[in-house]
Amino acid sequence: MTVNVTPHLNFRGNARQALEFYQSVFGGELTIASYADMGNTAPETADHVAFGQVVADNGFRVMAYDAYPNLEWDQGKDPFFVSLRGSDPAELQGYWDKLVEGAEVRQPIGPSAWAPLYGQLTDRFGITWVLDIAVEYPVG
């Protein structure tokens, strides 16, 4: 298994514009899944980004999403996550088991609507980590 560490940027309604901008700067492939794509049809957030990324051949990689309106969000409080994405559930679970010591679990690790394994925690140093199994999303 290989793992990739990717900056995961958090926005409030303008993640799509940010990702399109980063793609225009660095090139690469843009992938976006909206909240509507994930089954949420609330009109005010249906077109917001639930998952987005730009991956370029030059090594540039960034992920982003629009924080859901019911979640507390302050650009100074949670401006990014560290995303640890892999393909081996046992190895990912092993990383989780080490990172979770002294951490605040924000989302227990387990299956989710967008990944076979997903978890989120803020480690004892105040860094928020998102761990998940990579899946293919539609390009666009």
Mean pLDDT of the chain: 89
Indicate the pLDDT class of residue 15, thresholds 50, 70 and 90. Answer: very high
- Residue 88 structural domain: 4-133
- Tens digits of residue pLDDT in 111-129: 998 899 999 999 987 889 8
0.75 cut: is pTM over it?
no
In a domain? residue 140: no
> Domain for residue 22, yes or no?
yes
**23-52 per-position pLDDT tens digit:** 998 899 999 999 999 888 788 889 999 999
CA distances from 130 to 19, 28, 43, 51, 110 (A): 19, 23, 27, 12, 12
In a domain, 138, yes or no: no
CATH number at residue 125: 3.10.180.10
Q: Which helix (H) or strand (E) holds 16?
A: helix 15-26
In a domain, 23, yes or no: yes
C-alpha–C-alpha distance, residues 122 and 137, integer Å: 26
Per DSSP (E only), the strands in the chain are 4-11, 29-34, 49-55, 61-66, 80-86, 104-110, 118-122, 128-133
Decide if 83 is inside a domain.
yes
Position 50 in a domain: yes
Torsion over CA: 8, 65, 54, 86 (sign): positive
How high is the pLDDT of residue 61? Answer: 93
Tell me if 48 is assigned to some domain: yes
User: Considering only CA atoms, which of 66, 56, 62 is closest in space to residue 26?
Assistant: 56
Band (pLDDT 50/70/90 cuts) for residue 108 is very high
> Residue 25: what residue type?
V
Q: State the pLDDT at residue 140.
A: 62
- The predicted-structure confidence for 51-101, as pLDDT tens digits, reads as follows 999 999 988 899 999 998 888 878 777 778 888 888 899 988 999 999 999
The domain total for the chain is 1
Q: How many CB atoms lie within 10 A of CB 45?
A: 18
